[in-house]
Structure 1
Amino acid sequence: MRDDVIDPSALERLLAAIGGDPEDLEELLGDFQHEGPRTLSQMQSAARAGDRDALRISAHSLKSNARDFGAVALATACEGTEHAAITDELEALRMRVHLIATELDRACGALAKLAQRDG
């Protein structure tokens, strides 16, 4: 079954990069599922405060992690926000953060399902 939220080839690359140990991948997954919401919270606070630099940095961080786990839509939303933080109106940035929240939820849910299936 193909999951449209997660690119399985990215998970295969990540697993290979960490030496092929599924337990290590599971630990990284746990870290992502813990840190992703924390980073999102930082982004939401930065958007409310109008702190474009903090928003850009948080979006960059979450983008990189999302790419590692194959969460393509999340990574794309973060990349757009990272660039938009420089010029977009604050309300538009807040809408982008809302989209990121939705995509993060979808990615974490899909990764949890994959972990259950593979575990």
Structure 2
Amino acid sequence: MSDSSTAIDLEVFGDLQANTGADFVVELVDTFLDEAPQLLAQLRSAHAAGEADNFRRAAHSLKSNGNTFGALGFAAQARSLELAPLPEVGLASIERLEQLFQQAAARLQELCHG
């Protein structure tokens, strides 16, 4: 799953478009692409500061957003961070989440903006 073309489950994304409308999905995606980097930064900051509640909150938001758009690998990685005891979370796990976000973001941009 290193290819961005597999970063989004097209069935989930298509269902979202069918249920909310393609134009609204573009707005949702654009908001997600603007806000996710801030949440990733909050995740890193909370990790560095040992703030477990803030870490879990950021991971939970990222997981929920990922599931909404069909970024299932990204969402699964965020979920694993959300559930892990903070002292056991290594930077490699956060970096993997960031990589998965980049892949999902690229595919979402392609799906929404060509």
1:30-76 per-residue CA deviation (whole Å, 9 max, x = no partner) reads 00101111111110110111111111111011100000100011000
Contact 1:47 1:93 in 2 (8 A): no
Q: Which amino acid aligns with 2:52?
A: R
Q: TM-score, normalised by structure 2?
A: 0.88
Q: 2:100 aligns with which of 98, 103, 108?
A: 103
Query: 1: distance between equivalents of 2:42 and 2:26?
Result: 24
> Which consecutive segments of 4 or more residues in structure 1 shift more than 2 A?
87-90, 92-95
Q: Which amino acid aligns with 2:38?
A: R
Q: 2:41 matched to 1:5?
A: no
How many residue pairs end up in the alignment?
111
Unaligned runs of 5+ in 2: none
**Which structure dedicates a bigger proportion of its chain to helix?**
2
Report the secondary structure of 1:89's partner residue. helix
Q: 2:80 matched to 1:83?
A: no
Query: 2: distance between equivalents of 1:64 and 1:17?
Result: 17
Structure-to-structure mapping, 1:1-119, within 5 angstroms:
3-18=5-20, 20=21, 22-84=22-84, 87-90=85-88, 92-117=89-114
Query: 2: distance between equivalents of 1:67 and 1:75?
Result: 6
Counting aligned pairs with the same residue, the percent is 31
Note closer, same or farther for the CA distance 1:44–1:88 as it changes in structure 2 (3 Å cut).
closer
> Which gives a bigger RCO, structure 1 or 2 (Cα 8 Å, sep 6+)?
2
Contact 2:63 2:79 in 1 (8 A): yes
Query: 1: distance between equivalents of 2:54 and 2:90?
Result: 12
Unaligned runs of 5+ in 1: none
1:61-114 per-residue CA deviation (whole Å, 9 max, x = no partner) reads 110000010001100000000000xx2535x34322111111111110111112
